[in-house]
Amino acid sequence: MLNRYRIYQMTPTAEHIDYAAEKYRFHRATPHHLLVYTNKRKPGGSTLIRNARSLPAPDREWVAACNIIIAGEALHNDPDAQAGILNFLADLEKELEKEQVRLKEAERKVQTIYQNLLRQINVLSAKFSNMPMDALFRAYDRAMGNNPWIQNKRVKQINTLPVEYSKDAIGEAIKNPGGNEALLRGTHHALEATAYPMLKIRKLYTDLMTYNYYTAPAFTDEDDAKTPEFWREAALLEKFNDKLDPKANAHKATGQAIQEGKVFYYIRYDVDKSHNKVNYAFMQKLPPDWLKIIGYNNISGYTVSFDMFYFLQPGTDWRQFGDLFIPYLESFDAVIEPPGNAVFASKGWRVNLDKLAQMKDLVGNPEAYVQNGRWAYWVTLPIDKVWGFEIDDTNPNLASTMTGLYLSMSAIAQYEQVQLELVQNPLIAVMTGEIPYRNDSAAPQDDGIKLSEGGRILYETLWYNMLSQNNTSGIGFFMAPAENLKLHQLAEAPSATEISTNGYGYAVEKSGLAGLIPINDNPRAGTVNISIQLEAKYCQRVYQQFERMMNYIYSTLNLRYTWRFHMFGDLYNDEKERANMQKSMSMGVLPDLYRYNAIMGRSLLDDLSMSAAVKESGVLDMRLPLVTSYTAKNGGQLPPSPGGRKWISQMSQAKERRI
């Protein structure tokens, strides 16, 4: 079977080629060598190839193809061979599963960037040298590629992971947000889990906006609107909008921009204009910990660079971002070097700077260096494919605009702990006493009560230990050589129930949202109205950025007519604007129909489709006009009455037909 086949190399002479063709089923001739793959005796004048990995890639592929043929025939003709191969595959999968466990325990997960995948396959091929390559890949994929643990970790790492820092560390980071971006992002995510007001504030800002949108023509006239091509393009753009779902994506981008300051997406879409079809359109977030802003441009706004070492981390794969990173892979693969013979290790990889300096015409202007023991390989991403969203456009920091709340929010959990302890152990009385101690400067004299300074410190330590041990019960007893003991009864036990409430209220007031997030039992309507008007503008910058992105995408579709994307709306103004749109449309202002439909959650084409469906359904003929007693008295026409024997007869006939 497979383990009996060997690879032999011969000189590619005409005589040898004819001999191989006559005697051996599997042979391959190249200008450099003649290969024979056989389970028979060694051909005369040949040398044994002990390691198939030493062969060039085309030769290795040929050997793999031969193995597939051999294995297929064995499976078909020989039941014993079939059992053997199946057992071999099962053993291989077990070995791969064991390897996975070892990698998981060592936090050295398989790297699925293409060159590392091949290196890993080569490692396994050395262990299973006669295994067909397609079977090897299938077993590898079952054991590693679809592992839910790895996939889940990869998805989580798209965002900055929550990290809890001390108040001192947060305070120092706030002083220099540009130099501590990752720390501040991790702090924000951690605070949303530990301090509920932080999550509430982010959700409030995100949900204040309603993300209404519509696509309307620009620079067109009445004749243009009469052409079939005009409406064909309008339908195509509506299909694109439906696929991309601007409302949901803008809502998500707003929340993530609040958390991380700025968030960047790779926009992926495929439009089949000839068939007026949109195959897919979606936004894919890039991991902020591996991005940096390096400049500005007139298309997407920010020019960003990406560290390709991201793809040497556990569970990552360049293919999860489509074709975005394909232009950079060849040069990156050529200059990175693994740490010794380790294939899985994400740490220890380095860049061969000498090799990089010799390369020319590199895509993305790569910049490689090592800092604090960590290598980086930065490439500039295309400005027309990567789009950023932000709340504040006054600085390029990848950190939240809410950093000023971090110290207050980090104290809320501490306030609640202190409050809990005080509620469980209310302070109602204090006992004081005097412990006389010996004055070493005076004349020494024996005294059974007076203590030395060291003895006093000892009793103080024992006293504090007693308090700590009895903290939950509130009652403790300890004997100490004290005199003049006095009990001080407090007139009123101090209340601790307001500690966390006051801390919560202070944080909310500091955020400027006291009018929208109630901190007392008597919120004022006037304050709420003013606050919602002001705070609804907080995230309006996202609307402008989304419009800019969508309009650019429209321009890449090579449409005949010009179209513009618009996004607007918030909870406070939508109802007023809807009333204004109704009034203006009654006066003949037709363009307002676009905004009115957008507020109602539909497009102009939706309106046309639904109106046509309702009209042709005949349901309008079944609607009866409302007639009041006043209109009836003044000559108003009553609707046709369904009464009388005629109506009863018709209903009976209809019932019989249904039966």
pLDDT at 121: 57
Tens-digit pLDDT profile for residues 463-507: 777 666 655 455 555 666 677 778 777 665 555 566 666 666 766
Helix (H, G, I), strand (E, B) or coil at 399: coil
The answer to whether the beta carbons of residues 190 and 259 sit under 8 Å apart is no
- CB-based contact 486:430 (threshold 8 Å): no
In the chain, the N- to C-terminal Cα span, in Å, equals 73
Amino acid identity at 474? G
Which is nearest to 93 in space by CA: 146, 50, 57? 146
Can you state the angle between helices 246-260 and 228-244, rounded to 10 degrees? 40
In angstroms, what CA-CA distances link 21 with 16, 18, 36, 119?
A: 9, 5, 9, 33
The closest alpha carbon to 356, from 382, 395, 330, belongs to 330
pLDDT of residue 110: 37
Cα–Cα distance list, 517 to 232, 233, 522 (Å) = 47, 45, 12
> Which segments in the chain show pLDDT lower than 50?
106-114, 142, 341-346, 472, 642-648, 651, 658-659
CA distance 110 to 146: 12
Count of Cβ atoms closer than 10 Å to residue 328 Cβ: 21
Structure confidence at residue 133 (pLDDT): 54
Report d(CA 196, CA 216) in Å as an integer: 41
Residue pair 364/147 in contact by the 8 Å Cβ criterion: no
Structure tokens at 501: 């409430």
Q: Give the pLDDT confidence score for residue 131 in this predicted structure.
A: 56
Helix H or strand E segment including 232: helix 228-244
Distance CA 182, CA 207 (A): 26
Tell how far CA 457 is from the center of its chain: 56
Encode 80-92 in three state secondary structure. HHHHHHHHHHHHH
Distances (CA, A) of 29 to 14, 37, 44, 54, 109: 10, 12, 16, 17, 40
Q: Are 350 and 375 in contact (CB under 8 A)?
A: yes
* Phi-psi map region of 140: left, alpha, beta (phi>0 left; psi -120 to 50 alpha): alpha
**Strand spans (E) along 539-619:** 562-570
479, exposed or middle or buried, with CB in 10 Å at 0-12, 13-18, 19+? exposed
Place of tokens 């800019």: 548
Q: 202 CB contacts (<8 Å, ≥6 apart)?
A: 192, 255, 258, 259, 402
pLDDT of residue 342: 40
385 within 8 A of 172, measured Cβ to Cβ: no
Task: Specify the residue for token string 């994506």.
Answer: 249
- Strands, E assignment, 43-123: 47-49
